[in-house]
Amino acid sequence: MLLIIGMIIGLVLGLTGAGGSVFAVPLLILLAGMPMADAVGISLGAVAASTIYGSLRNLVQKQSAPLLWKPGVILAGAGALTAPLGKWLGLQIPELWLVSGFSVLAMVIALRMWLGASKNPAAASVVRAGNFAHIPSPGLICSMSASGQFELRPRCVSGLLIGGLLVGLLSGLLGVGGGFLIVPLLLALSAVSIMQAVSTSLFIIGLISSSGFISHLLMSGNNDWPLLGLVAAGGVIGMLLGQTISHKIANALLQKIFAISLLIICLITFARNFL
């Protein structure tokens, strides 16, 4: 069962560039019988393994848009700092509150996925390869140079730092990798294309999730390596499959199916904890 859960995590990440971790936590609670704290830790570890593998595979095979290294490092570094804080906060909060908070957040993500697929169906098919064009966009916080690089001025760096700190905190607290925040954050800050935002998000998710999982190991005192091994192995298999078939099946309908599935899973998890 843990292997199957891992495959679902990796498949969703490979097909959408985000969203795998938000499926992982409720599935680990419902199907593996884990408490919320352990589900969060295992989710972060599995997502880290899947996204690091996916990023390395894209780099080696040059199957994705070039990474935004500078803003990526800033976002990932800030998130890696607050992920342990989020994990610590999670240990102080009653599980019922954590599950409730996670369920509400996941429902918001599901709604956003549905609306995104409805309003911009073309973007739903973009999960990996592609280059971006330099398009002047006045009013955005981060400007782009003529060569297509971020111009890291104070205002831009501040936006990246604040976004990274928030993503890391939520990742450590609720086990979400942050892809659902990272992609729109990059798009909102700059004129970067969705292809490059998704490609960069995998790298950022990998580093932030790694920080959160290491914090889980240090704070919980549990030996979760055998469980993580199964989930992570499934995640890598799912990521490989997702990246292989993404260009064939990724579309608005698939994103809507993911949104509905996530909503159902979260409603069941929410009801189970209250009943």
**pLDDT at site 168:** 92
pTM for the predicted model, two decimal places: 0.77
Least confident of 34-38, 98-102, 196-200: 196-200
Rounded Cα gap, residues 45 and 212, in angstroms: 8
pLDDT exceeds cutoff 50 at 167: yes
The mean of the pLDDT values for the chain is 77
- Comparing C-alpha atoms, which of 194, 246, 190 is closest to residue 71? 190
Phi/psi-derived region of residue 148, left when phi > 0, alpha when psi is between -120 and 50, beta in every other case: left
pLDDT exceeds cutoff 70 at 128: no
* Mean pLDDT to the nearest integer, 248-255: 65
pLDDT exceeds cutoff 90 at 85: yes
The alpha-carbon radius of gyration of the chain (Å, integer) is 17
Q: What is the domain partition of the chain in residue ranges?
A: 2-274
Grouping H, G, I as helix, E, B as strand and the rest as coil, residue 150 is strand
